[in-house]
Amino acid sequence: MSEVRLQIDGQEVAAPEGATVLEAAQGAGIPIPTLCHHEKLEPFGSCRLCTVEVERGGRKQHVVSCVYPVAEGLTVRTRTPEIERIRRVILELYLAHAPEAPRLKALAEEYGADKDRFDKESSFCIHCGLCVRYCAEVKKKHAVGFINRGTKKEIAFVPDIAARECWKCKECFPLCPTSWLQAAYVLVEGILFPREEQQA
Amino acid sequence: MERLHSPAELEAFRKAVLADRAPDQPCITLCAGSACHACGCNDVAEAVRVELAKQGLADRVHLRLTGCHGFCERGPILVIQPESVCYFQLTAADVPEIIEKTVKAGERVERLLYVDPDSGDPLAREDEIPFYKHQQRIVFGSNGSIDPKSIEDYVAIGGYSALAKALSEMTPEQVLDEVKRANLRGRGGGGFPAGIKWEGTRNAPDPVKYVVVNADEGDPGAYMDRSLLEGNPHAVLEGLILGAYAVGAHEGYVYVRQEYPLAVENVTLAIQKAEELGLLGDDILGSGFSFRVKVHRGAGAFVCGESTALMTALEGRVGEPRPKYIRSNVRGLWNRPTVLNNVETWANVPLIIQNGADWFTRIGTETSSGTKIFSIVGKITNTGLVEVPMGMPLRDIVYKIGGGIPGGKRLKAVQTGGPSGGCLPEHMLDLPVGFDELTQAGSMMGSGGMIVMDEDTCMVDVARYFIEFLTDESCGKCVPCREGLRQMLAVLTRICRGEGRDGDLEILEDLSVVAKEAALCGLGKSAPNPFLSTLRYFRDEYEAHIRENRCPALSCKDLIAFHIDPDRCRACGRCRRKCPAEAISGAKNVIHQIDQDLCTKCGTCLEVCPDRFGAVRKISGEPVPPPLPEDQRTVRARG
């Protein structure tokens, strides 16, 4: 596979063809924040925190770096004032749901996001989809999925599958940026199936 | 039906169909589009059948149920050929008189004719009626004259001759070139040139390619794709086959929402008939070109009109958009090159191939060729579907065709382009309606929805309404859309309730920027437009709500009150009797008063108060005058 040369924040970076801008930046040690990216999973592009500015042929555009493929001669800027603004507002939106989640708090600090800008809504899940995708793509169990649409969307365990599979796995737990996943699991567990290891 | 094996056989079939029809034989066409169905065209059709049989005319007069004629305000619509006499707003009871007088005696039934609002003269023919006269119906015109369930009807008006021409006289490259030269821009939203999209697919290395009809129309108040697919499905199909030929696709899909049952039925039937005739399937008209079409019924989600979401849904998954920086025409459906165009875009293609790109570019403006079908709804006299050449000023559409604003009210704004479009104020009415002109004005063409608003419309509430619609329709995948819209709706709702605060406009602007710049798909990126365009042209209304707790349009319920002017009240009792909340007190000769705590602000009192008294007032941003002391409430006491 041939190499592509691009510029990220003024730094010359080489990346394999087909890589994403996020991967290229990570390879060069340039940090881009993200909440929904995981190296074992297909890019999802939902948290939008990794938005960067790319310039190609004189045309500037905001793109999400976890999906955008590298290209020869591409110029990438990861921290313009507009990008800082986008990240700050996105974090403020998230913080309305999970103001005390450590990863959100750390990012809020960095980008000057005000956790109280929007009215609090305690639904905790930020829909990064890490649990859903990890269970589907890596474990191939589909024990947790999204239900509903839009502002009513939430994660939910499928009781039948969860009762069979989850107690011995729980690999999705540490992936969750807000810890809500564990609460959702315990909820389903408490209502729908007995805790297997206690029975044993 | 015999399968046709060559363009010559298609011509022979056409001649046979025409020979079967006496041109002078009277034909009654009745609009059977969805709107006319809703106002009783089925009963009228039944009455026509019964009456024709009763009068012994069943063999000599043909009844044809057609697609939508466009003038939905006046349905059911019946047209008698060959004189083209139009009758509007019919009931079954009118039918015997029509058959007796018009069909048998050639006379007109005056009371059922359209009356010109200016001169008061009755107008009999479509081409005399202003609503039709100022239109140029090249795509939509056949809707009112053919039976969508009959492929013979479509062939009789020259249908499929563009396909025959392309397959026998043109290479795929020439078809593509003709569409490119015609500068046909996508009628579904963005206005991207169809020819360039097609070329990308044609040139993509993958040998398997697809063509798709996007019939997932979801804009509030817009139904032109529905009417076209219901009323003239073969035109859409012919366009699709031509597109498939041009790009080298052998499989196509019509993605139509399940809520359009008649469109699903008619297009499914059209596909079946076209297959029987050999216009679809293997070796079309003996050309060696093969192409098949399937109908996919969508579950009716606004986001599924977005191209990547539509394709995801077609693949059988949840209709969520995909983050993609490679265009769908190169990697679309099942990652294959895919041309996705809207219903109206496809329906233009046979006309372009038949008449040539030069003919097409002579219609419309420099950068927007051809015509556009608009659905004009809202506070307008003639609600319906209209097709006009691009570049017609908005004013002409609203006044000449639409008949202006009813009730002597003033026009305030025209919302174009659906939820993602914007509101254009009165002073911009002379804007020529084209893709680029609308975009520059902060709105867009979109799929052609046009909502007319009068002085009673609150623009903050309009923004709130559209944002609420989009909040319901967001797929919820990305945060600027899901969370951003949720917060925008919360702030706009607060403002409409008179609870706006300093900084609210900044919050809305911040969220708008983030949605525009960082949302995943077109729905999210354009979602702030209802807010941005109303802020651009009606900022004073936002400020009045936030700073003065006043709704200048006297529309937001939480900010208005109804009050009876004691000097004008004649104690007639009408408002008291009609008030559903029993909020009005008073009696004979006792001045009436509204108990503000009981009032539900329905406005009935204002409606029923006789004009000559004019005692009821709607107020906003000022305190309601205190009730009169009991001893001053007698009407006589004031002398």
DSSP codes joined into one string, B233-288: HHHHHHHHHHHHHHHT-SEEEEEEETT-HHHHHHHHHHHHHHHHHTSSBSSGGGSS
Tell me how far apart the alpha carbons of residues B405 and B412 are, in angstroms, rounded to a whole number. 10
Neighbours of B597 (CB within 10 A): 6
Tell me how far apart the alpha carbons of residues A124 and A97 are, in angstroms, rounded to a whole number. 5
Q: Sign (positive/negative) of CA torsion B383, B388, B394, B400?
A: negative
- Cis amide prior to B82 (ω within 30 degrees): yes
- Cis amide prior to A16 (ω within 30 degrees): no
For chains A and B, what is the number of CB pairs under 8 angstroms?
Answer: 92
Tell me how far apart the alpha carbons of residues B624 and B559 are, in angstroms, rounded to a whole number. 11
Cα dihedral: B113, B115, B121, B126 (round 10): -60
Residue B569, min C-alpha distance to chain A (Å):
46
Q: Cβ distance B51 to B95 under 8 Å?
A: yes
Q: Cβ distance B202 to B175 under 8 Å?
A: no
**Interchain proximity A85–B514, CB inside 8 Å:** yes
Q: Which residues of B touch A153 (CB under 8 A)?
A: 475-476, 482
What is the per-residue pLDDT across B187-197, written as a single tens digit (0 to 9) for each?
A: 987 899 999 99
Cα dihedral: B87, B88, B91, B94 (round 10): -30
Residues 6+ apart with CB under 8 A from B95: B44, B47, B48, B51
Tell me how far apart the alpha carbons of residues B127 and B129 are, in angstroms, rounded to a whole number. 6
Q: Cβ distance B501 to B490 under 8 Å?
A: no
Alpha helices, H only, B20-145: 34-38, 41-54, 95-98, 105, 130-133
Nearest to residue B196, comparing CAs of B241, B145, B246? B246
Neighbours of B25 (CB within 10 A): 12
Q: Which residues of B touch A41 (CB under 8 A)?
A: none
According to the model, what pLDDT value does residue B81 have? 87
Q: Sign (positive/negative) of CA torsion B241, B247, B251, B254?
A: negative
Q: Sign (positive/negative) of CA torsion B586, B592, B595, B598?
A: positive
Radius of gyration of chain B (CA): 28
Nearest to residue B457, comparing CAs of B543, B552, B539? B552
Residues forming a β-bridge with B393: B432
One-letter amino acid identity for B398?
V
Segments of chain B scoring below 50 in pLDDT: 637-639
Structure tokens at B639: 């002398």
Query: Does the pTM of the predicted model rise above 0.80?
Result: yes
What is the per-residue pLDDT across B591-608, written as a single tens digit (0 to 9) for each?
A: 999 999 999 999 999 999
One-letter amino acid identity for B502?
D
Q: Which residues of B touch A68 (CB under 8 A)?
A: 325
**Interchain proximity B477–A96, CB inside 8 Å:** no
Q: Which residues of A touch B323 (CB under 8 A)?
A: 43-45, 64, 67
Residues 6+ apart with CB under 8 A from B30: B36, B41, B44, B45, B48, B63, B64, B65, B66, B76, B77, B78, B79
According to the model, what pLDDT value does residue B639 have? 45
**Interchain proximity A150–B324, CB inside 8 Å:** no
According to the model, what pLDDT value does residue B326 have? 86
Structure tokens at B31: 């609009």
Ramachandran area for residue B370 (φ above 0: left; ψ -120 to 50: alpha; else beta): left
Tell me how far apart the alpha carbons of residues B218 and B420 are, in angstroms, rounded to a whole number. 11
According to the model, what pLDDT value does residue B189 have? 79
According to the model, what pLDDT value does residue A163 have? 86
Bridging pattern class, strands B338-342 and B210-215: parallel
Mutate one of A52, A90, A149, A153 to test the B interface: name it (highest B CB count within 10 A). Answer: A149
Nearest to residue B224, comparing CAs of B79, B348, B333? B348
Structure tokens at B589: 């000769």
Q: Cβ distance B496 to B545 under 8 Å?
A: yes
Q: Chain B residue with minimal CA distance to A48?
A: B518
Tell me how far apart the alpha carbons of residues B50 and B47 are, in angstroms, rounded to a whole number. 5
Residue A156, min C-alpha distance to chain B (Å):
15
Local structure of residue B292 (DSSP, 8 states): E
Q: Which residues of A touch B301 (CB under 8 A)?
A: 149
According to the model, what pLDDT value does residue A197 have? 55
Tell me how far apart the alpha carbons of residues B115 and B101 are, in angstroms, rounded to a whole number. 19
**Interchain proximity A90–B514, CB inside 8 Å:** yes
Nearest to residue B6, comparing CAs of B122, B149, B167? B167
Q: What count of Cα atoms within 13 Å lies in the side-chain half-sphere of residue B53?
A: 6
Q: What is the largest CA-CA distance in chain B?
A: 95
pLDDT at A32 over 90: yes
Neighbours of B465 (CB within 10 A): 18
Tell me how far apart the alpha carbons of residues B470 and B477 are, in angstroms, rounded to a whole number. 13
Q: Cβ distance B402 to B376 under 8 Å?
A: yes
Q: Which residues of A touch B474 (CB under 8 A)?
A: 149-151
Structure tokens at B245: 């030929």
**Interchain proximity A48–B520, CB inside 8 Å:** yes
Q: Cβ distance B139 to B373 under 8 Å?
A: yes
According to the model, what pLDDT value does residue A1 have? 65
Backbone angles phi, psi at A195, to 5 degrees: -75, 115
**Interchain proximity B479–A86, CB inside 8 Å:** no
According to the model, what pLDDT value does residue A196 have? 56
According to the model, what pLDDT value does residue A200 have? 42
Tell me how far apart the alpha carbons of residues B463 and B460 are, in angstroms, rounded to a whole number. 5
